[in-house]
Structure 1
Amino acid sequence: MAYNLADLFEHSVDAMPDRVALIAAGRRITYRELEDRANRLAHNLLEAGLTTGSHIGVHLHNSIETVETLLAAFKIRAVPININYRYTSDELAYVYGNADLEAVVHHRVYSPRIAEVLPSLPKIRYTVVVEDDLGGVGLHSDSVPYEEALSGSGRRDFGERSNDDVFIMYTGGTTGRPKGVVWTHESIWRVLAGGLDFYTGEAIEDEYQQSQVGSEGEPTLWFALPPLIHAAAMMPTLTALFSGNTVLLESKFDPHRTWELVERHRVQILIITGDAMGRPLIEARQSSRTDTSSLAVVASGAALFSPVIKDAFLDAFPNLVVSDSIGASETGFGGIGFATKGQKQVGGPRVPAGRYAMVIGDDDRPIEPGSGNDGWFAKGGYVPLGYYNDPEKTKEIFREVDGKPVVVTGDRARIEEDGSITLLGRGNMVINTGGEKVFAEEVESAVKAYRDIYDAIVVGVPDERWGHRVSAVVQPRDGAGIDFDGLEHHVRQSLAGYKIPRLLWVEDAVQRTPSGKPDYRWAQGVTKQRDPDYRVISG
């Protein structure tokens, strides 16, 4: 046995076989049933020639089959590769090729795009198609039907696994090409799936501890709203399964339906990604008559979660615990904060630092707490091995501090006098205007707090005089108009003059990634296509 993701799941199966593991699309599946189906798929993958180290694309939206595919790959020591199902053909061909895929499991709705790219990728020799509820009915695919792939043995007879089996999480694509972050199973479990105590930073030394503790108590119901192709949903889902809880999944995010499902299934923990899910959820809640009294925790991560939205949740649910975690695919968990009413926030969240979190300067030396200097958020302890197929980027991000390996993210941060860390924003999205640094997330938070704005992305637009002008692409609330003078007055209450968006573009909808992160490439494209709808002239 090992600190391996397949082993950790199997411990739960052995301890709690008849508990419900997953609920999705009107189906409820127990741990025993999930194990049996994952074993059958695993045997099918072995028969297709896939084995230890084989890369298997998971081109699936949220479903029971998505979890089964992940588990099946882990069981045979293969490497599941998360695929963003919103990619264009060019992006898809790049990721399929960069990840060296040998097989793909996909929902039928994505068949046409997959058919476009497969002829140029001869390494992919096996594909499996899953039926879906998002428009795939009737679409042709040459792939093996998923249920046929489950026709073989359900035995657990796969041999021993290793702590050092490889796990890869592809990330990025909003400002550059996607990159595969390479972890060992033990390291990713330690930082994101319960192998470390989030509050003390102490390592769990017994691989049976999660399942044992889970079996001694009543299960809780977790509703994972982000796509399972993102760590913000995949890792909480695995954490829940390793500890004997139940996970509810939906194929597509719908805020009104979310509250209906919270009532129907008595959801206790709601997993979201910041404002992208938080804002539509809390606004849908205002008109909902559903009974949501079961809800105890709203846990956000991976995207900006504005104070105004946190306050709205606390107003609607006075006894609710609202958490906001920092971290990334390259770092795992970096710290967690808990919201209180009226909390001030600059840029990202301010959280008590995780055990191995730090802020370093450009000289790769830790910055002293309370110095007031900002630097780069960094994480030591259990860190990835590097980026897949990218030695240059690996050398840039994965470094040493005081002789120990750390990963240095693209996030700017400040370490406060009490040791807590305030995230200021993505370093590659810092806007230099007239020599002043402006963090896009800070401006986005202020703009989105205005009554007329539903969503916003802030970018820098080249300017001959200032270098760049702070600019915003905004989405009006309910398709209504925007009082631009009122917006300008509003943001001036919380932002210095040089941080005020000078140019604004109005779009019917602001585009985000499936995980809820701003699509900065799209926003910059908008600013290049046409003149702005509003200009701020005054200083």
Structure 2
Amino acid sequence: MNIALLLDMAADGFGDRVVIGTRDGGLTAAGLRDRSATGADLIRRSGADAVVYLAVNGPAFPIAMFSAAHAGVPLVPVNYRLGAEQLDSLLANHPSALGIADPEHLHILERAGLDVITTDDWLEATAAARSGDPDAGAGVGTEAPAVIIYTSGTTAAPKGVLLRHENLTSYVFGSIEFANAADDEAALVSVPPYHIAAVANVISNLYAGRRTLVLEQFTPAQWLETVREEGVTNALVVPTMLSRIVESDADTTVPTLRNLAYGGAPMPSRVIEEALRIWPHVGFVNAYGLTETSSTITVLGPEDHRAALDGDDRVRARLGSVGRPLPGVVVEIRADDGSPLGPGEVGRICVAGEQVSAEYAGVGRVVDAGGFFDTRDKGHLDEDGFLFVGGRADDTIIRGAENIAPAEIEDVILRHPDVLDVAVVGVPDDEWGQRIEAVVVLRDGAAVDADGLRDHVRSALRSSKTPDRIVYWDEVPRTETGKLVRRNVVERLVAAAPVSVRQT
């Protein structure tokens, strides 16, 4: 099924309902279909084989997505925060694309030689009456490419993940019930358009019949104000956003909020526990997924959160998990040699299912003979099937002959009441191969010395996992979706600091 058929279902089922934007002046499901049909005509007439979107999130984005789907070409949302060299290299992969950009980034697409239209002109052009064949594009197959999303490049150069219509529709059908949202429901999304969560939220909320709002520039006060003013019932945040919200001095009253989903990075247990205390009426959902898996593959639902708070230590530990797999998704933990591991054994998280693309543009699918994709994340399943993620396999610090997972150390440091954020990395060392260094962000007014933090780590972990050096920064480098950019941490530490002697 083409994702455009999801829009057709919405327009036929609740065409007059506002599904994009504010309550006053937003876009209805029928209006989105009309605009997307007109947009598809524009794409066909341009002769483009893709639509490159280089702008902030907003109404132009879903129109571009469904226009591309109707036209039978992929949408390519691009990270406007990349450097000029990376952008030029990425855009060179799409020389025949139609470009949609905001005025600030228009010159980048023009430099790449693309036919370009501004977001404002795109909105105006798609508001015009449709002039093409009403049946054009009806035959676009489920196996056709729907979206190409370039990975964040936190550990290497960005790669284009190719998501086909069948991957995205499988995700929707496996996780959402059609038209299950009441007509007063609204979802607030605070992720950029070049992230899989932005794509997934457009199609899943539309299929549910829920209005979607976008907060382009996040601040705790603006987020809270928008929730109240727009009657937001559902929201999506990354852990750093939720941390800033619960730490905020602003009014945290959100009477209409019913469900809050989070993901993209590990959530400190103290942050989610505080959020549960502040908003006992809200159902919290921890969602874990990757671009290659068409977004979410496991969910820790509201009842799981409540049970964890009230349960024994074993059940309470599930607050640190990402829940259990969605229907149609199979998760296995495997050793480096590919052999399966049992409950509690840490290994590589591998996943299979129809929504799993695991396909890279110009490369093909990267799966084994059984269709399993190695996420390169490390983790384990408990005896009840709850998945615990322990960081990227690529992040492993090798100190001497010992493999050390930085996520384990980060989790302990984050338990300190005065720590807001942390990054633990391996830095080159002549004697040990790598030494452990930690960058720590403290809450305002706090003063915690390095020796005190080392003692805090040693109280939970053996001394070989205690950071050799701890430095304090105002913030650690993260993407807009909360992913830690470890290579930037290592580069800055190596450039700025001399080799330090291990303190024990």
In the superposition, the TM-score normalised over structure 2's length comes to 0.89
CA contact (8 A) 1:479 1:508 kept: no
CA contact (8 A) 1:40 1:154 kept: yes
Q: CA deviation at 1:44?
A: 1.8
* Cα distance in 2 for residues equivalent to 1:148 and 1:321: 39
Q: CA deviation at 1:356?
A: 1.1
Compared with structure 1, are the counterparts of its residues 147 and 62 closer, same or farther at alpha carbon in structure 2 (3 Å cutoff)? closer
Compared with structure 1, are the counterparts of its residues 251 and 499 closer, same or farther at alpha carbon in structure 2 (3 Å cutoff)? same
Aligned counterpart in structure 2 of residue 413 of structure 1, from 359, 367, 379: 379
Aligned counterpart in structure 1 of residue 130 of structure 2, from 125, 131, 154: 154
* Cα distance in 1 for residues equivalent to 2:96 and 2:220: 34
CA contact (8 A) 1:99 1:180 kept: no
Gaps of 5+ in 2: none
Q: CA deviation at 1:505?
A: 3.0
Task: Report the residue type matching 1:277 in the other structure.
Answer: M
Matching of residues 170-189 of structure 1 within 5 Å: 170-189=150-169
Q: SS of the residue aligned with 2:199?
A: helix
Q: Determine whether 1:42 maps to 2:11.
A: no
Q: CA deviation at 1:312?
A: 1.2
Aligned counterpart in structure 2 of residue 66 of structure 1, from 61, 68, 83: 61
CA contact (8 A) 1:24 1:64 kept: no
Which stretches of structure 1, 4 residues or longer, exceed 6 Å deviation after superposition?
A: 532-535
CA contact (8 A) 1:180 1:387 kept: yes
Q: CA deviation at 1:271?
A: 0.6
Q: Which moved more, 1:526-535 or 1:439-448?
A: 526-535
Q: Determine whether 1:537 maps to 2:481.
A: no
* Cα distance in 2 for residues equivalent to 1:421 and 1:447: 22
CA contact (8 A) 1:232 1:301 kept: no
Q: SS of the residue aligned with 2:441?
A: strand
Task: Report the residue type matching 1:351 in the other structure.
Answer: G
Matching of residues 125-524 of structure 1 within 5 Å: 126-131=115-120, 145-150=121-126, 152-154=128-130, 156-160=134-138, 161-167=140-146, 168-191=148-171, 194-197=172-175, 210-211=178-179, 213=180, 217-273=182-238, 275-284=239-248, 287-289=249-251, 291-332=253-294, 333-337=296-300, 338-339=304-305, 340-341=308-309, 349-354=321-326, 355-367=329-341, 369-370=342-343, 372-382=344-354, 383-384=356-357, 386-390=359-363, 394=365, 397-400=366-369, 404-478=370-444, 481-524=447-490
Compared with structure 1, are the counterparts of its residues 418 and 347 closer, same or farther at alpha carbon in structure 2 (3 Å cutoff)? closer
Compared with structure 1, are the counterparts of its residues 454 and 415 closer, same or farther at alpha carbon in structure 2 (3 Å cutoff)? closer
Q: CA deviation at 1:196?
A: 1.0
Q: SS of the residue aligned with 1:491?
A: helix
Task: Report the residue type matching 1:334 in the other structure.
Answer: I
* Cα distance in 2 for residues equivalent to 1:418 and 1:444: 25
* Cα distance in 2 for residues equivalent to 1:535 and 1:75: 61
Compared with structure 1, are the counterparts of its residues 225 and 533 closer, same or farther at alpha carbon in structure 2 (3 Å cutoff)? farther
Q: SS of the residue aligned with 1:229?
A: coil
Q: SS of the residue aligned with 1:475?
A: strand
* Cα distance in 1 for residues equivalent to 2:287 and 2:246: 19
Provide the alpha-carbon RMSD of the alignment.
Answer: 2.7
The percent of aligned pairs where both chains have the same amino acid is 24
* Cα distance in 2 for residues equivalent to 1:441 and 1:346: 16
Q: SS of the residue aligned with 1:376?
A: strand
Partner of 1:204: none
* Cα distance in 2 for residues equivalent to 1:41 and 1:504: 53
Compared with structure 1, are the counterparts of its residues 26 and 535 closer, same or farther at alpha carbon in structure 2 (3 Å cutoff)? farther
Task: Report the residue type matching 2:486 in the other structure.
Answer: Y
Compared with structure 1, are the counterparts of its residues 11 and 179 closer, same or farther at alpha carbon in structure 2 (3 Å cutoff)? same
* Cα distance in 1 for residues equivalent to 2:52 and 2:11: 25
Residue deviations 1:385-429 (CA, integer Å, cap 9, x gap): 6211235xx5xx4212xxx21111111122333333222210001
* Cα distance in 1 for residues equivalent to 2:209 and 2:493: 48
Compared with structure 1, are the counterparts of its residues 26 and 461 closer, same or farther at alpha carbon in structure 2 (3 Å cutoff)? farther
Q: CA deviation at 1:314?
A: 0.7
* Cα distance in 2 for residues equivalent to 1:102 and 1:493: 56
Compared with structure 1, are the counterparts of its residues 243 and 158 closer, same or farther at alpha carbon in structure 2 (3 Å cutoff)? farther
Q: State how many pairs are aligned.
A: 487
Q: SS of the residue aligned with 2:368?
A: strand
Q: CA deviation at 1:88?
A: 0.6
CA contact (8 A) 2:72 2:137 kept: no
Q: SS of the residue aligned with 1:159?
A: coil
Partner of 1:134: none
Q: SS of the residue aligned with 1:127?
A: strand
CA contact (8 A) 1:233 1:271 kept: no
Residue deviations 1:347-401 (CA, integer Å, cap 9, x gap): 962522444111122333322x33x43221111121316211235xx5xx4212x
* Cα distance in 2 for residues equivalent to 1:105 and 1:377: 37
* Cα distance in 1 for residues equivalent to 2:331 and 2:386: 10
Q: CA deviation at 1:82?
A: 1.8
Partner of 1:6: 4
Q: CA deviation at 1:248?
A: 1.3
* Cα distance in 2 for residues equivalent to 1:389 and 1:356: 26
Q: Determine whether 1:55 maps to 2:50.
A: yes
* Cα distance in 2 for residues equivalent to 1:452 and 1:166: 47
Task: Report the residue type matching 2:174 in the other structure.
Answer: L
Matching of residues 108-123 of structure 1 within 5 Å: 108-112=103-107, 114=108, 118-119=110-111, 121-122=112-113
In the superposition, the TM-score normalised over structure 1's length comes to 0.83
Q: CA deviation at 1:152?
A: 4.0
